[in-house]
Amino acid sequence: MGMDRILKKCICVAGLLAIAGALCGCGKAGENTQSAMEQIQAFDYQGALTQLDTAEASGENGRLINRARGIAHMGLTEYDQAIECFQAALAGSSGLVEDVDFDLNYYLAAAYAKSGQYSQAEETYDAILALRQNEVNAYFLRGNVRMNLSEFAEAKEDFDRVIAMEPNNYDRLIEIYEVLEHFGYESVGQEYLQAALEKDGKKMDNYSVGRIYYYLGEYEKAYLALEQAKEKGGEESYLYLGRAYEATGDYNYAANVYTSYLSTSDGSAEMYNQLGLCEMAKGDYQKALEAFQTGMQLEDNGILQTLSFNEIAAYEYLGEYTRAYTLLGSYLNNYPDDKKARREYEFLSTR
């Protein structure tokens, strides 16, 4: 699990807090500020910044303007400017700690982490926890930045606390495993998973049991549990079931799992993406391309960046390097901080 996904979770946490923050002591967002936030959601960061200048000239809420500017600058990977905006918004506090202050600190911590300033991110989470000791998201995210600081013991303390606070949150447990695995501590992560199975295995549903076996590498046990879980029709059950079969090398059956779900649903971007990856592994790059493109056409799919990158990879495998190069240029305009894509762009320029 890379830091990008971790930081997306951080932004998600902040966004949830913002709903309350924007309506309490900080005041409501003005019309221009709201319009700018809509532009941000559409990835039009420059347009949002222009709209926010209008909001400022119109005398709209300064704290919310700076908050929105910070988010727009993050979208443009201008993290130093984002940090300045979030700090300015925090400096505009009335002195009473409100929900919006926690929201801003989550964003500030994310901006620090995205710019590689992990110590400052850690200090920001420290500040959040000094005021709200039960802020479980802050413990989890602080654990992540501590891993980046090679503070394993301290990070593990945070993860232990998170698990103690949310003993039945198996989604979070798996996220912790993914973080540890990413930083080379897979065995420690698996110890968490094994302990959960031993403690709660009999009362877990098949979906949770199957996922945990999947991350433990016990794929036969995983797909046996997930075959039962999929009877309830949940998308995630099908996704993990397919992945378990992929892990055993049975890409044909995995592809059947994904297409079976898609034939009875309104569509799922993540399912199309996984189907595309499965077809790539089988060497059928045209089918892979079709799967990625179908997923991209779904509204509000949530993984457009992933699908776009995989579409480009499919074109490369098909030998359509000019098309891949053109699409990758457009991709980097939207996601300029993707270092892997930047390296690929330089490679394609030589083809």
What confidence tens digit (pLDDT) does each residue in 129-171 have?
999 999 999 999 999 999 999 999 999 999 999 999 999 999 9
pLDDT at 96 over 90: no
Determine the pLDDT at residue 24. Answer: 41
Distance CA 202, CA 221 (A): 14
Number of neighbours of residue 153 by Cβ within 10 angstroms: 7
pLDDT at 13 over 70: no
What value does the mean pLDDT take over residues 98-116?
A: 95
What count of residues does the chain have? 351
Q: If you count DSSP H runs as helices and E runs as strands, how many of each does the chain have, helices first?
A: 20, 0
Burial 46-82, CB ≥16 within 10 A → b, else e = ebbbebbebbbeeebbbbbbbbbbbbbbbbeebbebb
pLDDT at 17 over 80: no
Query: 1-116 domain in CATH 1.25.40?
Result: yes
Q: For tokens 């949830």, name the residue.
A: 16
302 or 292: whose pLDDT is higher?
292
pLDDT digit string, tens, across residues 63-83: 999 999 999 999 999 999 999
Distance CA 306, CA 285 (A): 16
CB 336 within 8 A of CB 77: yes
The amino acid sitting at 188 is V
* DSSP-derived secondary structure for 41-67: HTT-HHHHHHHHHHHHHTT--HHHHHH
Which CA distances in Å does 182 have to 120, 189, 234, 249? 22, 10, 27, 23
Determine the pLDDT at residue 23. Answer: 36
The predicted model scores a pTM of 0.82
Give kind and range of the element (H or E) at residue 252: helix 251-263
Distance CA 269, CA 254 (A): 16
In the chain, domain spans: 1-116
